[in-house]
Structure 1
Amino acid sequence: MTNFLKGMAGLFAGLTLLVLVAAGGAGFVLWQAWQPAPVEDEVVVVVPRGIGVGAIGEILAAEDLVPSRWHLMVWSLLLPDDRSLKAGEYAFPPGATGGEIIGILRAGRTIQHTLTIPEGRTSFEIVELLRADDRLTGEIEAIPPEGALLPETYAFTRGDGRQSLVDRMESEMSAAVERLWTQRDESIPLETPQDAVILASIIEKETGVAGERDLVSSVFINRLRQDMPLQSDPTVIYALTEGREALGRTLFRSDWDVDHPYNTYRNDGLPPGPIANPGVESLRAAMNPAESNYLYFVADGTGGHAFAQTLAEHNRNVAAWRRVRDRSDPPDSPDLEDG
């Protein structure tokens, strides 16, 4: 019996020693989790989808962010949290500790990229921008209808789907149009929100000067009220290109005669659809134009436009613009006309 008790005591002592050693080892590894990684610059790492903790540890160890894959595996067990390590593209700061790295991976604090969609791009052009961006993945199901996408700066993470970004653009446009339509000047001769998007797209293509959008809008609204054709050059350009490419040249007088439903020199009223994707400010201008009696406008040579109430005044503005143009254009440049 005495020998048995001595044996049990020895076994207990051995187990105790093993536990103490294991605890000490675990404590040391846990202590290591709060030591800064030996990197002096920010390190960007991509964690692919579908890989385990060990594989993530190998990626981090290769960048000297953790001592070994086993350290990350042990840390993920010892540091209490029920969140898994998430895939994505991460930027780890210089001297990040293992605990901080685990926290970043568990929280999914991935790098946020941005993509700016300029106002006035066609849907075809926007789709081409998305397809050319290698930070995005996947295919786009179809080119959205013209005017369905809201130009804006969008945040995303590497690996997000192109179609998901298109869906966000469509959702943002719908929300913006719905909100602005409720705030519109109800006296304007626009029957539907889609009419407002059509007019906004023309305004967007006619001027890049933020302060004159509402004046350009007033010209077209006044023309609609008086049953005058809009006579907008950008609609003619859209008739010639259908939004799939740049015209590559200036307009000629003969272009005004092109037989196309979007040609607002030949057809009264708004064209059948938008000619581009307008931004929020052009949408707002279309639905809340300035109060004016203007019926004409022409480039003034400074990047803006000269506005006129009468044809005689407009012709004087056109003559002034031609003098500015002729000073900068070659003598054999084509005879341009203005919208």
Structure 2
Amino acid sequence: MTEYGRGQGPEPWHPTDPLYGDQGWEGQQQYQQQPQQATPYAQGGQGYQDPYAQQGYGTDPYQQQAAYQQQYPQQGYVDPHAQVYGDQGQAQAYEQTGWNQGYDTPGQHGQAYDGNWETGQAAMAYNAPPADPYGGQQPDLYGTPEAYPPPQPPGRRQQPPQPVVDWEPEPEPEPVRQAPREAREPEESHPFFTGDDDEDGYEDEEPSSRRGRGGRGDDRERERRGKEKKRKGKNGVACLVVAAVLVGGVGGIGYFGYQFWQGQFGEAPDYAGTGTGEVQVEIPKGAFGNEIGNILKQAGVVKSVDAFVAAQQKNAKGNSIQAGAYTLKKEMSAESAVALMLDPASQANLIIPEGKRNAWVYEQLDTRLDLKPGTTKEIAFEKADSLGLPDWAKNHDKLKDPLEGFLFPASYPVAKGGKPEDALKKMVSRANAEYTKLDLEGQAKKHGVENAWELLTVASLVQAEGKTHDDFRKMAEVIYNRLQPDNTETNRKLQFDSALNYLKGQSEIKISEQEANTNQDPYNTYTQVGLPPGPISNPGVEALAAMLDPTKDGWMYFVATDGMNKTEFAKTYAEFKTLKDKFNANTD
């Protein structure tokens, strides 16, 4: 028995192992012709039996397997002779040859293996022969003398035998040569944008018939190159986007830089001089400088908005331009336009004073709009219900004017070329907004009247008879006291001269007792009980506030003792008589 049979010599080197090398089954055929020699197991003499003799194959099964592998090269190797050894004699053979070192208990059938066998590898001593991966069921491929060279002296490593190769490797295919780059057709696009900067010279695809054993590696190489080209293509697109963004950014910076330069150093287009002719413009409430400039430009007053805004900023009072109508000139310099708008003489606003009747407002509108006298009044009566009156102000009988009390005292822009109904709508809208804030509908019952309409009528009487803020509150108390059902002083009659004057369209201080006591018109409070059919003027803010907050001192009478501005109040009829005598003395 040789030293190798006992597993004590150096481990042989098997570079041409047909089971692990690249030769496949072709390299094994050379061993089929060699004479069979005794295996280490047979030399052990421990009752080892050839397992092939019991299978009844008759021929070498590896010849059949080699043929199968040549016919189906893609199929893996399947060992047809896999067996489980449990024979005691085999275990003894392994023990003698040193192959039983991986067992916990040698020779025992079905025993567990240690940790090395769990990973599929046998635990063996150093320099022991490798474990047979096929369970010892293949023929001894190393039975020839050439497979077992004589042992070397101690300390010197035995050199492995040179492998015997009976086949030549298939030659590698020659790379497809391409024509010189100068002779090729010019590229349609630059690699910067396409990302196709591959200069390796290899074709993307290769016929499958020319692929050798390294075909799978070539596939991986082509896949890598494909991914690299895609990545380069994406990089090119990204560069194109970045370039576009940079170009756009530079253009935007240039544009805004030019605008900034124009605003800082360039002069805006402007007219020269104070202009010619006349034109009226209307500036809405809350308009800013650029909005005002745009209105003036459209009307032909200034040449550009920027010029007007610059002139407004230069003027110390430029920001005090108020909303309203202005009479200006065409083709004015921006500086002249700002100065004229700050002059009250240019303002074309219609200012309605507190206590003015609607008749006065109609006349003013006709004059400012160059209309025939009576035009605005006619439109007011015809379109009263479409001018914005609240529901509680509609459908009242015996009214002298359906809009009385709703042309709220304020300033309104009225420019030439406008329509009367437009101006009336603004006035009614303003009055409706003010009355809504005061909640006239909710306050009526608290003051002993039926509705908001009667409450507004009380305010109009206060406005017409009072002279000062204190007069307004006392006048409101006189009205409420005279409307009381238990009033025996005047028997619920107001007896106000202002109501009779409204009826007659006049403003007289002295009214004859005969006229006052004989006129039966609903607006004559000397003959009619209670309030007149509607308001007799347009009350202002102070009169409205006094109407909602009257005094509670018991006032029942009042007399303008100087005939003009001084009003004195009395609680009894006797006090009233004294005040009346004082009046007569001052007016004779």
- Which runs of 5 or more residues in structure 1 are unaligned? 1-29, 49-55, 67-71, 73-87, 102-110, 327-339
Tell me which amino acid in the other structure corresponds to 1:142. Answer: A
User: What is the RMSD computed on CA atoms of the aligned residues?
Assistant: 3.8
- Asked whether the equivalents of residues 198 and 273 of structure 1 are also in contact (C-alpha less than 8 Å), the reply is yes
How far residue 113 of structure 1 moved from its aligned partner, in angstroms, is 2.9
Separation in structure 2 between the aligned mates of residue 127 and residue 320 of structure 1, nearest angstrom: 38
Structure 1 residue 148 corresponds to structure 2 residue 410? no
Q: Which residue of 1 aligns with 2:198?
A: none
Q: Which residue of 1 aligns with 2:550?
A: 289
Q: Does the C-alpha gap of structure 1 residues 124 and 47 become closer, same or farther in structure 2, counting only changes over 3 Å?
A: closer
Q: Which residue of 1 aligns with 2:530?
A: 269
Q: Which residue of 1 aligns with 2:448?
A: 189
- Asked whether the equivalents of residues 279 and 328 of structure 2 are also in contact (C-alpha less than 8 Å), the reply is yes
Q: Does the C-alpha gap of structure 1 residues 96 and 175 become closer, same or farther in structure 2, counting only changes over 3 Å?
A: closer
Deviations 1:163-192 (A, max 9, x none): 111111111112222222358485311221
Q: Does the C-alpha gap of structure 1 residues 181 and 35 become closer, same or farther in structure 2, counting only changes over 3 Å?
A: closer
- Asked whether the equivalents of residues 279 and 330 of structure 2 are also in contact (C-alpha less than 8 Å), the reply is no
- Superposed counterparts of 1:67-216, under 5 Å: 90=328, 96=334, 113-134=348-369, 140=376, 141-143=379-381, 144=384, 145=402, 146-181=404-439, 184=443, 187-216=446-475
Separation in structure 2 between the aligned mates of residue 309 and residue 249 of structure 1, nearest angstrom: 22
Higher RCO (CA 8 Å, separation ≥ 6 residues): 1
Q: Does the C-alpha gap of structure 1 residues 299 and 45 become closer, same or farther in structure 2, counting only changes over 3 Å?
A: closer
- Asked whether the equivalents of residues 177 and 193 of structure 1 are also in contact (C-alpha less than 8 Å), the reply is no
Separation in structure 2 between the aligned mates of residue 175 and residue 96 of structure 1, nearest angstrom: 36
| Structure (1/2) with the larger helix percentage | 1
What is the number of equivalent residue pairs in this alignment?
A: 250
Q: Does the C-alpha gap of structure 1 residues 159 and 306 become closer, same or farther in structure 2, counting only changes over 3 Å?
A: same
Separation in structure 1 between the aligned mates of residue 558 and residue 522 of structure 2, nearest angstrom: 23
1:311 to 551, 559, 573: 573
Separation in structure 2 between the aligned mates of residue 295 and residue 157 of structure 1, nearest angstrom: 46
- Asked whether the equivalents of residues 136 and 161 of structure 1 are also in contact (C-alpha less than 8 Å), the reply is no
Q: Which residue of 2 aligns with 1:255?
A: 515
Q: Does the C-alpha gap of structure 1 residues 33 and 161 become closer, same or farther in structure 2, counting only changes over 3 Å?
A: farther
How far residue 249 of structure 1 moved from its aligned partner, in angstroms, is 7.7
Deviations 1:56-100 (A, max 9, x none): 99x77xxxx87xxxxx9xxxxxxxxxxxxxxx9656897549xx9
Separation in structure 2 between the aligned mates of residue 35 and residue 174 of structure 1, nearest angstrom: 44
SS state at 2:349 partner: strand
Deviations 1:182-234 (A, max 9, x none): 58485311221110111111112112323311111111111112442111111
- Superposed counterparts of 1:14-29, under 5 Å: none
Q: Which residue of 1 aligns with 2:163?
A: none
- Asked whether the equivalents of residues 209 and 304 of structure 1 are also in contact (C-alpha less than 8 Å), the reply is no
Structure 1 residue 218 corresponds to structure 2 residue 477? yes
Q: Does the C-alpha gap of structure 1 residues 191 and 288 become closer, same or farther in structure 2, counting only changes over 3 Å?
A: farther
Tell me which amino acid in the other structure corresponds to 1:229. Answer: K
- Asked whether the equivalents of residues 473 and 549 of structure 2 are also in contact (C-alpha less than 8 Å), the reply is yes
Q: Which residue of 2 aligns with 1:80?
A: none
SS state at 2:483 partner: helix
- Asked whether the equivalents of residues 236 and 255 of structure 1 are also in contact (C-alpha less than 8 Å), the reply is no
SS state at 1:297 partner: strand
Bigger Cα Rg: 2
Structure 1 residue 236 corresponds to structure 2 residue 490? no
The TM-score, its normalising length taken from structure 2, stands at 0.37
Tell me which amino acid in the other structure corresponds to 2:355. Answer: G
Q: Does the C-alpha gap of structure 1 residues 38 and 265 become closer, same or farther in structure 2, counting only changes over 3 Å?
A: closer
Separation in structure 2 between the aligned mates of residue 47 and residue 221 of structure 1, nearest angstrom: 47
Q: Which residue of 2 aligns with 1:46?
A: 279
- Asked whether the equivalents of residues 136 and 160 of structure 1 are also in contact (C-alpha less than 8 Å), the reply is no
How far residue 306 of structure 1 moved from its aligned partner, in angstroms, is 0.7
Q: Does the C-alpha gap of structure 1 residues 207 and 89 become closer, same or farther in structure 2, counting only changes over 3 Å?
A: closer
Deviations 1:115-137 (A, max 9, x none): 11122222222111111114789
Q: Does the C-alpha gap of structure 1 residues 230 and 137 become closer, same or farther in structure 2, counting only changes over 3 Å?
A: closer
- Which runs of 5 or more residues in structure 2 are unaligned? 1-261, 282-296, 305-325, 338-345, 385-401
Q: Which residue of 1 aligns with 2:103?
A: none
Tell me which amino acid in the other structure corresponds to 1:236. Answer: L
How far residue 286 of structure 1 moved from its aligned partner, in angstroms, is 1.9
Structure 1 residue 322 corresponds to structure 2 residue 584? yes
SS state at 1:268 partner: coil
SS state at 2:533 partner: coil
Tell me which amino acid in the other structure corresponds to 1:206. Answer: E
